[in-house]
Amino acid sequence: MIVRDRPNGLRLFLTMRGSILPSIWKSLFITTLLAVIVTWTHGQLWQHKVHLTIIPFTLMGLPLAIFLGFRNNSAYDRYWEGRKLWGELVLRSRNFSREVLSLVDTAPGHEHIRERMIRRAIAFAHALRHNLRRSDPGDDVARHLTEAEWAALRARPHLGNAIMLEMGADLARCRHAGMLDSIRAVTLDATISAMVATGASCERIKNTPVPFSYTLLLHRTAYLYCFLLPFGLVDSIGYLTPLVVAIVAYTFYGLDALGDEIEEPFGVSPNDLPLDAICRAIEIDLRDALGDPDLPPPLLPVNNWLR
């Protein structure tokens, strides 16, 4: 996620970090080059003059802009829902550590069960992040589990779910050992269930993209509009055609590419959610609740990019 103040003046046009321009510059260059050629030949194509007026582009441009805006709103809804879900996970993780420390009594032979449950909550957050990003969870998850537990869980098909199954088993052990009564056990189980629900909702966003046919239609229409636009402008504005086409193409291509980028908010591009920083915040809060004096520092933006 880009974290910076909005640039002013000339820096507004020179800022590349977080800009969509690096993703669309090739298409923008080809479209502008086509506009230059059309302007140079005055709209002639193989000795035939292409007669287009601005009217069809006016009729096409308005619905295209509306549909691009609708699609970007849908993409941003997915982005914002992802952020709310990870905020919910932060809240539930904090509540879980407080509930474990305040509701679970100590008992002989079970001195470390409370710390183990809180460590598992940290491991769950890291496992969820890696599951959404299709990356290796080994280093981040293993250090919060015992060697035996990690060896038993690492091969499971869904690591986060396996961790929560172990969490439920510990809850049952606490109940059988008399460390929890039924009412407190229900409270803790509700928090665990809410954390699992948060993870499942993130997976729903990850595994259900915007329908491909809808995206393809917008891609094709935007490119067709911008490729034909020079033929409709050259007779009326002449040598300014490439400039106007470049501005229009930047807008349409940029909106199209931006929707693609924020549609899946759990990746590692500059405009995706800072899941590393959120997981680090959860880890700091829960390890602080355990009284750990060796807390890791919070992650800060590097070159205005918070990962």
126-165 tens-digit pLDDT: 999 999 999 999 889 999 998 889 988 988 999 999 999 9
Q: How far apart are CA 30 and CA 26, in angstroms?
A: 6
State the average pLDDT over residues 22-39. 90
Each residue of 160-202: pLDDT tens digit? Answer: 999 999 999 999 988 888 888 888 999 999 999 999 999 999 9
pLDDT for position 66? 85
Q: Is residue 143 part of a domain?
A: yes
Q: Is residue 148 part of a domain?
A: yes
Is 80 exceeded by the pLDDT of residue 107? no
State the average pLDDT over residues 73-81. 92
pLDDT for position 17? 66
Q: Which is more confident, 102 or 65?
A: 102
pLDDT for position 25? 86
The mean-pLDDT minimum among 72-76, 262-266, 277-281, 300-304 falls in: 300-304
Q: How far apart are CA 160 and CA 152, in angstroms?
A: 13
As a whole number, the mean pLDDT across the chain is 87
Q: Is residue 207 part of a domain?
A: yes
Distances from the Cα of 115 to the Cαs of 110, 118, 167, 208, 290, in angstroms? Answer: 10, 5, 12, 36, 7
Q: Is residue 307 part of a domain?
A: no
pLDDT for position 16? 65
- 212-237 helix and 21-41 helix, angle to the nearest 10 degrees: 40
pLDDT for position 282? 96
Is 70 exceeded by the pLDDT of residue 8? no
Q: Is residue 8 part of a domain?
A: no
Q: Is residue 13 part of a domain?
A: no
pLDDT for position 249? 92
In which domain, by residue range, is 199 found? 22-289
The mean-pLDDT minimum among 1-15, 97-111, 280-294 falls in: 1-15
Q: Is residue 299 part of a domain?
A: no
Q: Is residue 302 part of a domain?
A: no
Answer yes or no: are the C-beta atoms of 86 and 278 closer than 8 Å: yes
Answer yes or no: are the C-beta atoms of 195 and 89 closer than 8 Å: yes
Each residue of 222-269: pLDDT tens digit? Answer: 999 999 898 888 888 888 989 999 999 999 998 888 888 888 899 888
Residue 152's CB: how many other CB atoms inside 10 A? 13
Report the percent of the chain where pLDDT is more than 70: 93
Number of structural domains (the chain) is 1
pLDDT for position 245? 92
